[in-house]
Amino acid sequence: MRRKSALNNSAAGIGEVAPDDAPPTRTAEGVARRSAVAEEQAFLDLATARRNRLVDHLQVELSSEAQDALERARQRMLRQQYEELRGAREGLVFGRLDGLDGTVRHVGRVGLRNDGEDGEPLLVDWRAPAARPFYTATAVDPQGQARRRHIRTTGSTVVGVDDEPLDGTMTAELVGEGALLAALDQRRTGRMTTAISTLQREQDDIIRAEATGPLIVQGGPGTGKTVVALHRVAYLLFAHRRMAEQAVLVLGPSPRFLQYIAQVLPALGETAVVSATCDTLLTDIHVGRDESRLLAEIKGRALWQPALESYVAALLPRPRELKLRWEGEFYVIPAATVAQALASAVQGRPYHRARAAFAEQVHHLLADVVAEQREALMDEMEEGFEDILARVDKSLGHDDHSTRTSTGSDIDGLLSEEEIENLRCRIAGNSTIARFIEAWWPTLDTETLLGDLLTDRALLARFAPHLSPEEITAVSAEPAPWASSDIPLLDALADLLGEVDAPQPQGEFVADRARRQRGWVYGHVVVDEAQELSEMQWHMVLRRCPSRSITAVGDIDQTEAAHRHTSWAQAVRAVFGDRWTAAELTICYRTPREVMDLTEPVLTKAGSHNTPPRAVRSSGIAPWELTITPAELADAAAQAVRQLQQRWRGGTVGVIAPADRIAELAAALSDVPVLTATQSKGLEWDATLLIDPRGIAAEPRGWNGLYVALTRCTQELGQLIPLG
């Protein structure tokens, strides 16, 4: 029989008003509760009506056709406001602050003003500075507040309130403890939801931290890392409007994970967000094969960045005399002039942009040489013509002072600036000149170039000298198609080469344009499960945000990737050096204490030096184990899943197993997800069935994987242990 935790029972009595599911012990309490609910219902009705009027008004504004660029920009802004308000149907109002000075402020998903634009805000946006005490005020530090009220709603109906006095009459470990634990006890649906009504102080501190450099957030299972990361996106886009003009990139570990979080940011009203995995950042290249952990580790090392830079630099043409044919004549550009033009064209530019700059210089240089050679020819002709005239004059008996109507010097043969510019344009459009430049400085293909490098041991030894002969052999033996670890190498090479012709991406929202352009520079990048990134993947992140406005969240103890990093310093040093800030989430809200108590010996075997997060809730259900024979595994798993689904009807059940058992179990369990520990990362279910934990521990980085698998449930954990 499931029993409530002591913490849950005590939470029901926090503050002046009990939650709606706790029966009042006195009539006065019942009256107070009903009065508070009615008061907040009236306010919710008022805020909803105001929101609906604004939505209707914006619909009318957006129905007209934009006539110019300024109007289109205005319409984009209005559409963003419209989408934000339209998405705020659920949970429009969730909090209230009563100040010591008597002021009352309601906090909600979006900000709303009264009908009079000069009036006080009707509803304060949760991201606004005025809302921060809702997350950070305590009885010890009330921040000018007398009371905080959490308002729980379903649709357009207020279903309960939780009050917390902040005048020192009561203390609580967590902000909004009753509301938080009620939310945590809800059934899981397979979709991530927002947590703006129950954020805790350590979470809010990270959400509102400055975005001036890399912020690396360490957090164990259930500490709300993903919640914090996504709400930080929403906060930064609200607080730094220029960031929205550049978009924010959210990198997750897998497509399944991105589907899991897909509803959160739209619900928070954000449309300037691109979500992807490292494998999907290059939209025209797809991962086509798996590879060994050894090869993934080798290709993930930072040494490839300078290796590829040297490789591309070696492909640049070397200065020499250029002999070009123009209109049947040959013209020579001296080697010294070519060297100067080459140095000017390169100057830190990518290969193809440097090539375009050099081609433009060649067009000018050739036009100048043609003009100079024509001038020299005309000078020679003029001198010859003067000699002829002198001989004719002498034969006719004329002296030097005889009057002439014109001389050769009157026709100097010089081209005007306009004629030279016209000549340059004709040269630039000439196919013969274009073919000459292409042959001397060819256009290169990223995939072909990387394939040439990775399959040539001599090239690998030359440009990646830190690789051992055995590692070079391992790299060069791998066939196409591309593997996951090739994507960062392709990205680095594409960046070094640059676009041959980069058209401006089109789209109504900035996210649409950013998603289509590999070289887009984002205003901020958020990385979830960041401990899995290789050094070369970190380079991918930095290329997309050279300002280093980056938030990375993860748990170094859950690392399962092939790289050898066991600390954040090791993971990011190659890219960020020491220029990054550390933060930590220490409280586990999701995983119950009964399960977290199992993790310490697993972490020890994983080689962790971190303290597990402190669980603040109990499910009242002890983890259980069932020992079976291998032949009984499929049937026992099916029976256990049916029992868990019965107990957690309306919620979710997940199954985690070693990779070599997935196929067998997936065939027997068609109605629940059957995942490896790696695939389950970042997900959560009401109940988890963990099959063959020893098999998971025996996998590469298996103890880290087992730590992940143990901590996916919010209520109940069961384990099936095969004999043998």
What residues are designated binding site?
219-226
Which candidate, 398, 678, 668, places its Cα nearest to that of 562? 678
In whole angstroms, what is the distance from residue 188 CA to residue 222 CA?
A: 14
User: In sequence order, what are the beta bridge partners of 150?
Assistant: 95, 162
Please report, for residues 198, 554, 708, the alpha-carbon distance to residue 585 in angstroms, rounded to integers and kept in the order given: 15, 10, 17
| DSSP structural state of residue 223 | S
Is residue 268 within 8 A of residue 535, CB to CB? The reply is no
Which candidate, 127, 256, 281, 266, places its Cα nearest to that of 204? 127
| DSSP structural state of residue 187 | P
Cis peptide upstream of residue 266 (ω within 30 degrees of 0): no
Place of tokens 């006539």: 67
Phi then psi for residue 26, to 5 deg, are -135, 150
Q: Give the CA count within 13 Å in the CB-facing half-sphere of 232.
A: 31
In whole angstroms, what is the distance from residue 261 CA to residue 618 CA?
A: 26
In whole angstroms, what is the distance from residue 196 CA to residue 235 CA?
A: 11
Could you tell me the two tokens for 473? 């052999």
| DSSP structural state of residue 12 | T
653-656 sheet: strands from edge to edge: 624-628, 713-722, 685-691, 653-656, 674-675
Phi then psi for residue 583, to 5 deg, are -140, 160
In whole angstroms, what is the distance from residue 12 CA to residue 23 CA?
A: 10
In whole angstroms, what is the distance from residue 129 CA to residue 127 CA?
A: 7
- Residues in the annotated binding site for ATP: 219-226
Is residue 295 within 8 A of residue 478, CB to CB? The reply is yes
In whole angstroms, what is the distance from residue 627 CA to residue 722 CA?
A: 6
Residue 624: Cβ-neighbour burial (10 angstroms; 0-12, 13-18, 19+): exposed
Is residue 561 within 8 A of residue 537, CB to CB? The reply is no
Is residue 696 within 8 A of residue 706, CB to CB? The reply is yes
In whole angstroms, what is the distance from residue 464 CA to residue 449 CA?
A: 15
In whole angstroms, what is the distance from residue 264 CA to residue 588 CA?
A: 20
Phi then psi for residue 14, to 5 deg, are -70, 135
In whole angstroms, what is the distance from residue 221 CA to residue 616 CA?
A: 13
Q: Give the Cβ contact number of residue 214 at 10 Å.
A: 23
Segment holding 565, helix H or strand E: none
Residue 457: Cβ-neighbour burial (10 angstroms; 0-12, 13-18, 19+): middle
Residue type, 562: A
In whole angstroms, what is the distance from residue 459 CA to residue 537 CA?
A: 23
In whole angstroms, what is the distance from residue 237 CA to residue 233 CA?
A: 6
The b/e string for 601-615 (b: 16+ C-beta within 10 A; e otherwise) is ebbeebebeeebbeb
Residue type, 246: Q
